[in-house]
Amino acid sequence: MAGGAYVVIALFFALAGGLVGRLKGHSFWLWFLIAGAVPIFGLLAAVFARDERTVERMRCPGCAAIVPIHQAICTRCGTELELPGDPQGILPPERA
């Protein structure tokens, strides 16, 4: 049955996408859902997604949380973030 085959294929891509996402420091379930919803493109998106382990970080001026440098708003306190003008404010990527 074609429907059953599609579910198997979608599950395979969902698992692969989830694992790739997890390896890059993202949420397994987020990428599981994306790759399962759009099987081939979701997996490709996971493969080409930014590797969170290699992203530089900075300290939030509001709550001092360490956040990825590309983030626009602190996920902890909601402070709007700007790139630190001082290179000293840029932290090296997190060591996994």
Select from 25-33, 34-42, 44-52, 74-82 the region that touches Zn ion (CB under 5 A).
74-82
Q: Which residues pair with 90 in a beta bridge?
A: 58
For the chain, strand residue ranges (E) read 57-59, 66-68, 90-91
Shortest Å, Cβ 60 to Zn ion = 3
| Residue with Cβ nearer Zn ion (20 or 60) | 60
Per rule CB under 5 A, count of chain residues that contact Zn ion: 8
Radius of gyration of the chain (CA): 17
- In angstroms, rounded to a whole number, what is the distance separating the alpha carbons of residues 85 and 82? 8
Q: Which of residues 32-71 bind Zn ion (CB under 5 A)?
A: 60, 62-63, 65
List residues near Zn ion by CB under 5 A: 60, 62-63, 65, 74, 76-77, 79
